[in-house]
Structure 1
Amino acid sequence: MTLTTGSDAARARRDATPQGEPRRVGGRGRGRAIEALWGYAFIAPTGIGLAVFYLWPILQTAYFSMTEWGFFGGHTWTGFDNYTRLLRDPEAGQALINTLGYTALGLVAIPLAIVFAALLNQKGLRGVGVYRTLFFLPVVTMPVAVAMVWRWLYNGDYGLINYVLSLAGVEGPSWVADPATALYALAVVGIWSSLGYNLIIFLAGMQAIPREYYEAAQIDGAGRITQFFRVTLPLLSPTAFFVSVISVIGSLQLFDLVYAMAGSGLTARANPAFPRLQTVVHLFYDRAFVTNDRGYAAAIVVMLFLLIIAMTAVQFRLQRRWVHYA
C-alpha cells in the first residue's frame, strides 16, 4: 500500500490535463528551444557585426603586430621584435607621456562641467536654451575647423591671445611652437571642445535627482552650497563615473587636434614643440602611413588597446570602492 502525501497529490494534479491525462513535458521544452532560436536570430546581426568589424580586426592587428611588412606589401613573422623595439623607442615613450599628460589635464573639464551644469540647472534662469546651445556648439563643430581657429588664436606673431596680452604689456609665447606651453595649449583646446558634451550629461543627471532631497535638505537648514556638496555631488557620482570613463578613452585616442595643429611627417617635425605634441595615435599614423612601418604601427595600437583596458579597469575598481565607502 502506497501512501500519498499532499505534495505528491498536488504534483499529480499539476501534471495532469483537464481530461485527466498526463501533460506532455516535451512540448514545453520544444517551446523554449524555439524561443531561444528566435532570440539568437534577433541578436545574430549585431553579433555578426561585432565579430566582423571589431573582434576580427583586433585579432588581425594582434597578428600583424608580430610581423614585418615590406614597402610593396607582404609580411614576415618576427615574433615579439616589434614590442621589444617599442619598449626601447624613446619617441614612443615620449608619445605615451604626452598622451597621459593630456589625459590628466583633460580631466579638468569634468569639475568645470559640473559647476556650469549646476549654474544652468537653477530655476528661473533666463536664456538657458541659448546657454546650452553655446556650450554645445564646439561638440558639433568639426575638429579641423576648431584646430584652425585655435591655431590663429595661438599664433605668436598675430594671434588674438598675444595681442590681448600685449595690451597689458606682456609678451606672449608661440603657444603651439614652444615646448614649454605646447601640451597645455593643446589641453585647453581639448577641454573647450569637450566641455559642452560633459555639461549636457551632467545637466541631465542633475535634473533626474528628485526634488524631495533638496526640500528635505532645505528644511534641515542647508543652503545652496551645502545642498550641492551633500546632495548633488553624491547622487551625481554614477554620471561622473560615466563621463570620466568616456573622457579618458577619448583623450587616449587623441589624434585629429594634433594632426590639424602640428601636422605630420616633415611638416610636423619642423615644429620645435612637436616632441611635446605627438600622441600615441599620431605616432601610429606616422609609422603606418608615412614611414610604412605597419608591423610596428600595429604593435603601437595593441599597446594603446591594452592601456585603455587597464585604465578603464582601474576606474571601475575605484568606482566600486567609492560606492562601498559611500
Structure 2
Amino acid sequence: MRKHLTDLMLVGPAAILIVVFIFMPVAIVIVLAFTDYQFGASSANWIGIDNFSTLFGSKIGRKALSNTLIYAAIVIPCSVGFGLLVAIGLHNLSKTLPRISAILRTVYFLPVAATMVALAVSWQMLLHPSLGLINNWMSMFGLQPQRWLSDRDLVLYTLAVIGVWQSVGYNMVLFLAGLAAIPSTLYDAAEVDGAQSGWAKFWIVTWPMLGPTTMFVMIVTAATAFRIFETVAAMTGGGPAYASDTIVYALYREGFVYFKAGYASAITVVFFLALLLLTAIQMLIVERKVHYR
C-alpha cells in the first residue's frame, strides 16, 4: 500500500495538470464545435454539424483547407529533402574543414532561432514590388518583376518558399544528429561488399540508418506546415481575396476577430483530425521501411 501511495503521489500532480490543461480544453473545444457559442455570450444553442457544414460548404472555408494542403504538399518534401542534402554536405565538410562547417551550420540555423514575425518583415522588404531587392535583381537579368505578395497566383507559393527556407535549418540539425550516430564501420563493410561510390554508400548505409530520424523529421515538419500562421498574419493577412488563407489563420480570424467560438472550435477539430490522419499515414507508410537498432 505504501508503494502504491508513493507512486500515486509521484504521478498524481503531473496527471492532474495533463487532464486540466490538455484533456479538458480538448473536450470543451469538441463540445463547442457543435454549438453557436460566441465569446461573451451567456448561453449557446446546440446546432449539430452546422459549423462543419459551413466550413466545407463555403468557398472561404474550402479555400483555407485547400491552401493548407497545397502549402503542406510543397513544404514537407522540399524542407525534408533540402535539410537532408545540407546535412550530408556539412557532415562531409566537417571532416576536412570543420570551422567552415560550423559557420555554415550557424548560418542555416539562424532562421530557426530568429522570430518569424521579424523575418516576415524582412521578407516583405525583399519582396516589395518596386523597392525590393529580388525584383531589382530580376530586372538586372531582364526578367519581369512580380507582385509576390499581392498576386493571387503567386502568394501561396511565395509563402511556401519562405516556409521551406525556415524549416531547412531545423531539419538539418536533426539529420546531422542522425548522421553522427551512424558507425563508420558500416561504411567500411559496404566498401568491402563493393559499394565504392558515395551514391551506393548512401542507399546501402546512410538512407536505411536514417530511417527513424527521417520519420521524426517528416512528422515534425508536417505539424509545422499545417500550423502555418505567423507569415500569413504578418505578411498577407490571408489575402489577396483569401488566396493565402490557411486553416489556422481562419481559426484565428473567426475566433478572435469575429468572436465565433463555436465555428472556430469546429475548425480546430477539423485541423486536429487532419493532422492526426496525416501523422498516422506517415507512420504506416514510412515506419514499414524504418530499421531500428
Give the TM interval when normalised to the shorter protein. Answer: over 0.9
Match of residue 228, structure 1, among 202, 222, 227: 202
1:34-61 Cα deviation digits (max 9, x unpaired): 3333223222222112111110000000
* Structure 1, 159-168 or 215-224: larger mean CA deviation: 215-224
| Structure 2 residue identity aligned to 1:99 | T
2:96 is the alignment partner of 1:124: yes
Match of residue 277, structure 1, among 227, 240, 244: 244
| Structure 2 residue identity aligned to 1:168 | F
State the shift of 1:70 in Å. Answer: 4.5
Alignment of 1:172-183 (within 5 A): 172-183=145-156
1:250-303 Cα deviation digits (max 9, x unpaired): 11111111101113xxxx5xx43x422110010011111112211111111111
State the shift of 1:84 in Å. Answer: 2.0
Distance in 1 between residues matched to 2:206 and 2:287, nearest whole Å: 19
2:79 is the alignment partner of 1:109: yes
Match of 2:30? 62
| Structure 2 residue identity aligned to 1:234 | P
Percent identity of paired positions between Structure 1 and Structure 2 = 35
CA contact (8 A) 2:215 2:287 kept: no
Match of 2:127? 154
* Structure 1, 192-201 or 218-227: larger mean CA deviation: 218-227
| Structure 2 residue identity aligned to 1:42 | L
Distance in 1 between residues matched to 2:193 and 2:164, nearest whole Å: 37
Distance in 2 between residues matched to 1:240 and 1:323, nearest whole Å: 9
Alignment of 1:210-289 (within 5 A): 210-221=183-194, 222-263=196-237, 271-272=239-240, 274-289=241-256
CA contact (8 A) 2:39 2:261 kept: no
SS at match of 2:242: helix
TM-score, with structure 1 as normaliser: 0.84
Match of 1:7? none
Match of residue 306, structure 1, among 273, 276, 288: 273
| Structure 2 residue identity aligned to 1:114 | L
| Structure 1 residue identity aligned to 2:273 | L
SS at match of 1:305: helix
| Structure 2 residue identity aligned to 1:240 | T
Distance in 2 between residues matched to 1:134 and 1:70, nearest whole Å: 45
Match of 1:322? 289
SS at match of 1:66: coil
State the shift of 1:211 in Å. Answer: 0.6
Runs of 4+ aligned residues of structure 1 deviating over 4 Å after TM superposition are none
Distance in 2 between residues matched to 1:42 and 1:129, nearest whole Å: 42
Distance in 2 between residues matched to 1:223 and 1:47, nearest whole Å: 52
| Structure 1 residue identity aligned to 2:4 | A
In 2 relative to 1, CA 70–121 (structure 1 residues): closer, same or farther, beyond 3 Å? Answer: closer
Match of 1:141? 114
Cα root mean square deviation, aligned:
1.6
1:88-125 Cα deviation digits (max 9, x unpaired): 12211110110011111112110111111111111122
Match of 1:19? none
SS at match of 2:45: strand
* Structure 1, 84-93 or 66-75: larger mean CA deviation: 66-75
Distance in 2 between residues matched to 1:84 and 1:179, nearest whole Å: 26
Q: Which runs of 5+ in 1 are unaligned?
A: 1-32
TM-score, with structure 2 as normaliser: 0.93
